[in-house]
Structure 1
Amino acid sequence: MPPNATGSGHKDPRISGLPHLGPRPATGQHGGVPEERPDEEVVPVQEYDAQPGRLVVLSEEECWELLRSRPVGRLAWSGADGVSVIPVNFAVADGAVLLRTTPYSLMARDCADREVAFEVDDIDEQRHGGWSVLVRGRCERERVASDGPRPWVTGPRVLGLRIAVGSVTGRRLLSSTAERA
């Protein structure tokens, strides 16, 4: 269950805002990228582990906070025309990602009642750091369109889509040019 939308993050001020380091798994099967192990506890990064260039795993709470911090993400799915990835504005409510589209769009046709991925990120090109949050879940048509999000594009976007979140994961790349304290 995601944290409250108005939550202030960590309760312990000593670790508020610190990146989190997950387990250091062996190289995975996906192009040499380590696979996440959701059954292992994510622990706060110790000061000696907060090295520039380190990739750290975000807690679920941090992932939800970061999702709410951006107005645009990327929706990905495999449909009739192959794999598609498009930028969309969105909202987060009740543990789901909410989208709006037209009933005749490719997104409406290919995504409804299917598994999709949704990604939001922020990249600092100058400092070589940033974060990424990935949501995986089932995209469903809303029987009654929710209030959010307000579409940026013109024209009626009357069809509400809801991604029922199955998993949310994230990673932060600590700036490689950050000054050490």
Structure 2
Amino acid sequence: MTIPRSSPCPWRGLSDGQTLDHLGVEECWRLLGSQSFGRLSFSVDDRVQVALTPYVARTSRVFLRAAAFGSVARRVVTRPVTLQIDDLSGDHHATWSVTATGTAHHVDDAATLAALWTPVRPAPWGVGQESLWIELLPDEVHGQRIRD
């Protein structure tokens, strides 16, 4: 959609002449694969929590690193979760955001774990041993891009 110069902008930060494009699923997965951390949203006791988390996207699946006894590992399994990533460049010429929503579970398949525990993996964050992998099986992936 193009915002005409004569109309007030309905979205803060979108200026005259910029467009908001919806991204296809393939482009969303390409962008998911281009980053290594995002914001994981999940519900605990009727409140939404957001945690920064390292991840890796592979073949329509997202794998998150989590502390074995941390809130993410304890609270997201079998619950709906959403991972959001974005690239908000300072000049606003290539701004995009992608979300992947689905159910999470601990990874216990030996072959999958062997493939994830390679030297090329997201670095752990936070205090403590980051020893768990959690898989997000998205049933919905979508994104948007703002461009001039």
Mind listing any 5+ residue stretches in structure 1 that lack a counterpart?
1-20, 22-31, 34-50, 176-181
- Where does residue 174 of structure 1 map in the other structure? 147
Report the alpha carbon displacement of residue 170 of structure 1 after superposing the two structures with TM: 0.5
Tell me, yes or no, if structure 1 residue 75 matches structure 2 residue 47. no
Query: Which digits, 9 at most, give the CA deviation of each residue in 1:66-124, with x for residues without a partner?
Result: 01111111100011372111111100123111012122111111101111000010012
SS state at 2:130 partner: coil
* Equivalences, count: 128
- Where does residue 29 of structure 2 map in the other structure? 64
Deviating 4+ runs (over 6 angstroms): none
The structure with more strand, counted as a fraction of residues: 2
Report percent identity of matched pairs. Answer: 27
1:52–1:129: structure 2 CA closer, same or farther, 3 Å change rule?
farther
The counterpart of 2:122, out of the listed 133, 141, 150, is 150
SS state at 1:64 partner: helix
Report the alpha carbon displacement of residue 152 of structure 1 after superposing the two structures with TM: 3.0
Instruction: Say whether the 8 Å CA contact 2:33–2:58 is kept in structure 1.
Output: no
The counterpart of 1:132, out of the listed 97, 107, 116, is 97
Instruction: Say whether the 8 Å CA contact 2:92–2:146 is kept in structure 1.
Output: no
User: 151-160 or 55-64, which moves further after superposition?
Assistant: 151-160
After TM superposition, the score normalised by the length of structure 1 is 0.63
SS state at 1:120 partner: strand
Taking the TM superposition and a 5 Å limit, the aligned residue runs for 1:107-122 are: 107-122=72-87
Q: Which protein, 1 or 2, shows the higher relative CO under an 8 Å CA cutoff with sep ≥ 6?
A: 2
Alpha-carbon distance in 1 for matches of 2:46, 2:92: 37
Alpha-carbon distance in 2 for matches of 1:77, 1:121: 18
The structure with more helix, counted as a fraction of residues: 2
Alpha-carbon distance in 2 for matches of 1:86, 1:55: 27
